[in-house]
Amino acid sequence: MRLHRNLVFTVIDSILLIFNEGEYADKVVAKALKKDKRWGSADRKFVAETIYEIVRWKRLYTEIAEVKEPFTRDDAWRIFTVWAVLRGYNLPDWKYFENAPIRRIKGRFDELSKIRKFKEAIPDWMDELGVKELGEELWSKEITAQNQQAQVILRVNTLKTTRKKLHAILMDLDIETIQPEEYPDALILKERANVFLTDAFKEGLFEVQDASSQLVAPFLGVEPGMRVVDTCAGAGGKTLHMASLMENKGQIIAMDIYESKQKQLKIRAKRNSAFNIEYRIIEGTKTIKKLHDKADRVLIDAPCSGLGVIKRNPDTKWKLQPEFIEEIKKVQQQILQDYSKIVKVGGNVVYATCSILPSENEKQIEQFLASEHGQNFKFIKDHKVLAHQTGFDGFYMALLERVK
């Protein structure tokens, strides 16, 4: 395995932007991949995967490299050297690798791999919180699974095609997919590929959406002709899934506080031929009050810590702070209280997060049901998805029925 200078320089530049400037890894990677049009798929794969790997294992690699933030360019090269040695690369005769302590790197890796916070490359506070909420054994399994690279999973847009047809279309493009039985709209790529460049994507035959996320819309039990409100729609992955399940019949009101997110959803909806969506910006309590007692189904895909999707967003480990989690739990309960008033008697609400913490999930439902407004609801069922059990994102969803 050889290292190519221009690719490695791009990686060095990128990790400095992420670590020192606080830029988001996905945006930095997207920018990096546009740097040289002559790069082939193998080059692009190296750049993207190497950046994400170094971000994922930041604490372990920086401990071995004996460097601290803010990182100098020399520090970044030391971190990269650790990555290259542990990945089995023969270091080329470049000045950056002079006197690279290969044996010491391997020795330190063996030592640190016995300590979970280094082995899994997580902050002390996150390790302590995980143990407190999930217990030693479960947390150890889950954080190990969260450090695996996320698979590319598609959701078939059944407004335009079937899973069988899309599977065949992609096969003709040499993109092999698996059709998992328990996820009827999902196709899992056997190998990573840039599916966004395909005509199938441009024609709206699919969206990229994790298998766990694909469970939420069916869990809500949406049907054609219903009035459904997606209260925290964002860029609309679940909104579009609901439109598909509803066969474009009925109405979905997609709400969010960010206009930029709604613009993204409008573009995606047009590509998907999802025409039963109405868009509303949440400008205050009046926006919510106008919808009180009006919906058959309400989805509350609440803002959360994101501790169920670390494999997809590894820089979460370094951006997230314990204070944010405490604050977001208050927001979650307030959203549950406010947005659940939108559903009519006899209708259903789903509260969902991409967190694995009981304090953001089961405990929030318990607190809500014990509240004055929560007395109007009956708990039907919940479903917790853990990465170490499924290989997919960590997720939680609870189904409630309004009874009075």
354 in catalytic set: yes
Nearest to 361 by CA among 335, 384, 389: 384
Written as one letter, the residue type at 224 is P
Phi-psi region of 135 (alpha: psi -120 to 50; beta: other; left: phi over 0): left
How far apart are the C-alpha atoms of 401 and 404, rounded to whole Å?
A: 9
How far apart are the C-alpha atoms of 224 and 244, rounded to whole Å?
A: 9
**301 labeled part of a ligand binding site:** yes
The helix/strand/coil state of 34 is coil
**74 labeled part of a ligand binding site:** no
**Which candidate in 18, 55, 354, 356 is catalytic?**
354
CA angle 340, 343, 345 (to 5 degrees): 115
Q: What are the structure tokens assigned to 203, written together?
A: 């024609």
Say if residues 377 and 340 touch (Cβ distance below 8 Å). Answer: yes
Nearest to 123 by CA among 314, 318, 324: 318
Nearest to 55 by CA among 315, 378, 394, 325: 315
Residues making up the annotated binding site for S-adenosyl-L-methionine are 256, 301
Question: Which amino acids are annotated catalytic?
Answer: 354
Residues making up the annotated binding site are 256, 301
